[in-house]
Amino acid sequence: MNWLGPLASFIAVLALIPVALWLLKRTPIGGGATTPAGMRVIASLPIAPNQRLLTVEVGQGNDRQWLVLGVTPAGIRTLHTLPPQADLPSAPASAGLSFAQLLGRTQRPPEDPHGR
């Protein structure tokens, strides 16, 4: 009966791990609760596994600007600054298609090696 106390403590710690992770994800300490005021991502374009282009709106009211940022593991660089656009960038025509439909669109039938 000497082992019931340590076993109960171990089970309590195991039960608290998911709760702690959930709290960290949703609080400012964990970085997942809020975004900076006056800042939002307009568009994101992956270039390579560790590189992407971001269009970010910063500022509020008449002070708003759009920044085109190059993001790499080495850092973030401002590539262009422009005034906010009236309409958001439109989605590509293939946005409503499933992955299988897109894949079928890009695949070509195999060519006949004999040229028939």
pLDDT per position as a tens digit, 42-73: 888 888 889 999 999 888 888 889 999 999 99
CA 12, CA 6: separation in Å to the nearest integer?
10
Report the C-alpha gap between 89 and 66 in whole angstroms.
Answer: 12
Task: Tell me the pLDDT band of 79, cut-offs 50, 70 and 90.
Answer: very high
Query: Both 62 and 29 in a single domain?
Result: no
Better-scored residue on pLDDT, 107 or 77: 77
- Residue 78 domain-assigned (yes or no): yes
Separation of first and last alpha carbons in the chain? 83
For the chain, the average pLDDT equals 78
Predicted TM-score (pTM) above 0.75: no
| Cα 54 to Cα 80: distance, rounded to the nearest angstrom | 11
Residues 25 and 65 in one domain: no
Q: Which domain holds residue 44?
A: 38-87
Q: For tokens 């262009």, name the residue.
A: 80
Q: What is the pLDDT of residue 44?
A: 87
